[in-house]
Structure 1
Amino acid sequence: MSEKRWSVYLSGEIHSDWRERIESGIAEAGLPVDLSAPITVHEDSDDCGVAIFGAEPDKFWHDRKGAQLNAMRTQTLIREADLVVVRFGEKYKQWNAAFDAGFAAALGIPYITLHPEQHDHALKEVDGAANAVAREPEQVVQALAYIISGRMPAVMSGTQAAE
């Protein structure tokens, strides 16, 4: 019998290495996880619609064409996910990430938010619907290890975990 492969969608902020940290942690832990994500090249995400369907003189329609293509990708990958991780970074407001969290919640797909403490108040409703709130990508990896295989982290709050 083959081991279940988990599908995890990584939503949100695209300006830091959090996705790479989760990916390398998953590999190190040997977890059966397939990751998916939005297009993370900002210019490609913004300009895909006009590159494919033609230029738009009005910025609203320029953005709309790209947003519709990106929505098809995002909605499909979230629907296929077993779990979603939603990252809210420090520098930019990720309105799309909040939408992704709500979309996952509406579909009944569990999600983990990932953000610094400074965003707690602004994200209280998003966090309230989340299954977990993480501060660091490594906590997401530890949560996945526990969810998938029941593995406790080697160190818990400065003490050794029971072996």
Structure 2
Amino acid sequence: MTFWTVYLSGEIHTDWREEIQQGAEAAGLAVEFTAPVTDHGASDDCGVEILGREDDPFWHDHKGAKLNAIRTRTLIEQADIVVVRFGDKYKQWNAAFDAGYAAALGTPLVVIHPAEHRHALKEVDAAALAVAETPAEVVRLLKYVIDGTL
């Protein structure tokens, strides 16, 4: 049995990742899921916690972003599929970057967002091989591409 690696990028304020993981498990899919650090505080402060304090907020964020990029780039490069969710409440600039990075690598990209974001995300959607509106659609998509069954 071949395991697929699926990287789950995007908003961190809802349980969409868990919905996809539980759905894939219920469907018996051979999938390993990876993701960025979703603890907002840890993600923001990792640079200064590990490499030392910064007085300037720019350098505080810069250190964290670089450490997070090590994880993100590595896991996207290892992924068979990248799923990127754009949520309602916040603008996920990092998610847009992850989508672009996956597209540039030629890694199959699946995007999730509500219908009202179609216009704002039209370029991202154009790079994706599938655009879903719900985690359940992503589970069905994964079942099809992995097992070849509807």
TM-score, reference length from structure 1: 0.92
SS at match of 1:34: strand
Deviation at 1:22, TM superposition (A): 0.2
Q: Name the SS of the counterpart of 1:24 in structure 2.
A: helix
Q: Percent identity?
A: 64
Query: What is the DSSP-based 3-state SS (H/G/I as helix, E as strand, rest coil) of the residue aligned with 2:8?
Result: strand
Counterpart in the other structure of 1:12: 10
Q: How far apart in 1 are the matches of 2:80 and 2:115? A: 26
1:49 aligns with 2:47: yes
1:82 aligned residue: 80
- The structure 1 segments of at least 4 consecutive aligned residues displaced by more than 2 Å after TM superposition are none
2:144 corresponds to which residue?
146
CA RMSD in angstroms, aligned pairs only:
0.4
In structure 1, what is the Cα distance between the partners aligned to 2:33 and 2:9?
Answer: 11
- SS of equivalent residue, structure 2 residue 110: strand
Match of 2:59 in 1: 61
Query: Counterpart of 1:66 in 2: which secondary structure?
Result: helix
How many residues in Structure 1 have an aligned counterpart in Structure 2?
A: 150
Q: Per-residue deviation at 1:37?
A: 0.2
3-state SS, counterpart of residue 8 of structure 1 = strand
Aligned to 1:159: none
Q: Could you say which structure has the larger radius of gyration?
A: 1
1:119-158 per-position Cα deviation (integer Å, ceiling 9, x unaligned): 1000000000100000000000000000001111xxxxxx
SS of aligned partner of 1:40: coil
Deviations 1:43-99 (A, max 9, x none): 000000000011100000000000000000000000000000000000000000000
**What residue identity is the alignment partner of 2:65?**
A
Output the amino acid matched with 1:34.
E
Output aligned runs, 1:127-138, within 5 Å. Answer: 127-138=125-136
Query: Equivalents in 2 of 1:105, 1:136: separation in Å?
Result: 21
Letter in 1 for 2:70: M
Q: Report the residue type matching 1:11 in the other structure.
A: S
**Counterpart for residue 119 of structure 2:** 121
Structure 2 unaligned blocks of 5 or more: none
Secondary structure of 2:14's counterpart equals coil
> What residue identity is the alignment partner of 1:117?
A
- Please list every run of 5 or more consecutive structure 1 residues that lacks an aligned counterpart in the other structure: 153-163
Greater relative contact order structure (CA < 8 Å, 6+ sep): 2
